[in-house]
């Protein structure tokens, strides 16, 4: 909902509340006035007009609320559309690499095709602000890494990432998936 729509809805609600007050005032005046039928008829027309306006404003407010809800539902429904469109060329490239390797029987062609597709996927992730978590050789951080096992190592400080089994990724400052790693531990004492 934009600020203008929000302000518009608030002013409509304020107007509806103001209309309620005006209707009450006219009704009170109508009850107190035992005079001319013409004055009473005019007041009744004004009351009817204000009631009709209030009903229309309430209907407009409800219609706006429904429209905004539909728009928000559509945004949620199709929010990953751009990512999917960007990933499809990578899938197409993978299919072409497989098809070419099947036709030629050349494994080097398949390997080159798969490397190209992997790069295309990395580029797509980067275009969507997803970045790999640099883990190799870094101290283990449980916020960024998931340790699968430990290997004794005299060359590395304990709790240093020795191997990345699966790359981790973050989107802006949020971890999408931690890097699955193997970390060092102190070698057993002899």
Residue with tokens 């190799």: 136
Q: Is the per-residue pLDDT at 168 higher than 60?
A: yes
Superfamily of 131-185 according to CATH: Head domain of nucleotide exchange factor GrpE (2.30.22.10)
Q: Render pLDDT for 22-70 as a digit per residue (tens, 0 to 9).
A: 656 655 655 555 556 777 888 889 999 999 999 999 999 999 999 999 9
Please give the full DSSP string across 98-138, using - where no structure is assigned: HHHHHHH--HHHHHHHHHHHHHHHHHHHHHTTEEE---TTS
161 CB burial (10 A radius; 0-12, 13-18, 19+): buried
Q: Where are the domains of the chain?
A: 3-77, 81-127, 131-185
Asked whether residue 147 carries a pLDDT value surpassing 70, the answer given is yes
pLDDT (tens digit, 9 = 90+) per residue, 101-135? 888 888 888 888 889 889 998 999 898 889 999 99
């Amino acid at each position: 909902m934009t600020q203008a729509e929000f302000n518009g809805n608030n002013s409509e609600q304020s107007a509806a509340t103001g209309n309620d007050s005006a209707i009450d005032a006219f009704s009170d005046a109508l009850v107190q006035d035992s005079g001319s039928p013409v004055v009473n008829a005019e007041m009744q027309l004004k009351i009817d007009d204000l009631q009709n306006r209030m009903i229309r404003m309430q209907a407009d407010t409800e219609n706006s609320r429904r429209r905004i809800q539909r728009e928000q539902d559509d945004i949620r429904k199709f929010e990953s559309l751009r990512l999917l469109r960007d990933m499809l060329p990578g899938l197409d490239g993978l299919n072409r690499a497989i098809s070419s390797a099947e036709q030629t029987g050349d494994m080097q062609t398949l390997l080159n095709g798969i490397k190209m597709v992997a790069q295309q996927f990395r580029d797509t992730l980067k275009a969507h602000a997803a970045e790999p978590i640099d883990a190799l050789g870094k101290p283990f951080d449980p916020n960024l890494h998931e340790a699968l096992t430990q290997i004794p190592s005299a060359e590395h400080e304990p709790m240093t990432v020795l191997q990345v089994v699966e790359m981790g990724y973050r989107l802006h400052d949020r971890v999408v998936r931690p890097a699955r790693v193997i970390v060092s531990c102190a070698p057993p004492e002899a």
